[in-house]
Copies of this chain bind each other. A is one copy, B any other.
Amino acid sequence: MAASLRLLGAASGLRYWSRRLRPAAGSFAAVCSSSVASKTPVGFIGLGNMGNPMAKNLMKHGYPLIIYDVFPDACKDFQDAGEQVVSSPADVAEKADRIITMLPTSINAIEAYSGANGILKKVKKGSLLIDSSTIDPAVSKELAKEVEKMGAVFMDAPVSGGVGAARSGNLTFMVGGVEDEFAAAQELLGCMGSKVVYCGAVGTGQAAKICNNMLLAISMIGTAETMNLGIRLGLDPKLLAKILNMSSGWCWSSDTYNPVPGVMDGVPSANNYQGGFGTTLMANDLGLAQDSATSTKSPVLLGSLAHQIYRMMCAKGYSKKDFSSVFQFLREKETF
């Protein structure tokens, strides 16, 4: 399907995403029943870097799991732990009426749901299907329609927070779907994340994540351009950051995640841009934002230029570095 080709870029945009959140508004506090009374099994499809620790947090909360991953090895931990491993998404749907999918791309999600042995082949009426993959909101809406036809419920719930947050159960979930079902989704998501935010109709979870990352990319590049210009105009980097952060230039990228080495400790720029949120992953999320803007005919001048800049960086050796390395990319001096 064409979508797959176009969206292949979105691969595992969620894997290492290490966004730091400001203190959560109370209204977003996560809810999680920790009663370990007999609970009905929960299906989990996609046990990658993120899915694995997420599923383990469900186990800790006493939920029996029905496991499936295209790579059998990915299921080993769970088999050893006595969880039930099956051989297809369809089999998961046969044995569980609450299923969480955590897949790297739209095409993988489409296959898990609509494929020959997909969930839809055996999904039970009334089942709750939660997709935590980061994909095109348009694909989420398509999946929701197909799920609805089967009398089941679909919600998109992409995450913020990387492997660390997945292990510690501190992810943020942005949830789109029918509001009446939000409480039911919250019961499970609250076991894996500290914040579960209801965003509106199906697809708005994806929309919220895409929007945040687009603005993040723009302000990060803007911060890098500004710091570089200021330095060349004779300003001390630390002083410039201080001035911006007490003024209207303030943004998360200048204050909490400054891209200039030496300005802050404990951020990727202080560690040769290791760790953090990879440039490739940001480029992929910007590709999703670009697709959404094109299909909704929304002008995104800075957003699409930011996409192109991260695209170029991927071809210049920055693909694995944190996305704040755009400062390094821009500051290289001209040679003669």
Closest partner residue, chain B, to A142 (CB atom): B2
A218 contacts partner chain B, Cβ-Cβ < 8 Å: yes
Any chain B CB within 8 A of the CB of A36?
no
CA distance A211 to B254 in the complex (A): 12
In the complex, A184 has a CB within 8 A of chain B: no
User: CB-CB < 8 A to A280: which residues of B?
Assistant: 334, 336
B334 A239 Cβ-Cβ under 8 A: no
Q: Which residues from B are CB-within-8-Å of A314?
A: 297, 334-335
A225 at the interface (CB under 8 A from B): yes
* Distance in angstroms between the alpha carbons of A249 and B43 in the assembled complex: 33
CA distance A174 to B267 in the complex (A): 28
CA distance A37 to B135 in the complex (A): 55
Given contacts A204-B234, A244-B212, A246-B25, contact A225 B302 (CB under 8 A): yes
User: Does A294 sit at the interface, judged by CB under 8 A?
Assistant: yes
Q: Which residues of B contact A221 (CB under 8 A)?
A: 218, 301-302
A241 to chain B, nearest CB (A): 10
Tell me how many chains of this kind the complex includes: 4
Nearest to A256 among chain B residues (CB) is: B248
Bound-state CA distance A232–B3 (Å) is 18
A332 to B139, CA, bound (A): 26
A22 at the interface (CB under 8 A from B): yes
Contact A234 B6 (CB under 8 A): no
Q: How far is the CB of A322 from chain B (nearest CB, A)?
A: 12
A289-326 interface mask toward B, CB cutoff 8 Å, 1 = contact, 0 = none? Answer: 11111111111111111111101101111011000000
A182 contacts the other chain (CB 8 A): no
Contact call B204/A20, Cβ cutoff below 8 A: no
Q: Are B243 and A9 in contact (CB under 8 A)?
A: no
Q: Which of A160, A228, A280, A308 has the most CB of B within 10 A?
A: A308
In residues 24-63 of chain A, which contact B (Cβ within 8 Å)?
24-25, 28
Contact: B251 with A233, CB < 8 Å?
Answer: no
Closest Cβ neighbor of A292 among chain B residues? B233
Asked if A226 is at the interface (CB within 8 A of a chain B CB), the reply is yes
16 contacts between A and B (CB under 8 A): A25-B246, A200-B239, A204-B235, A207-B235, A211-B235, A211-B244, A212-B244, A216-B249, A218-B218, A219-B249, A222-B302, A226-B303, A248-B257, A290-B294, A302-B305, A316-B316
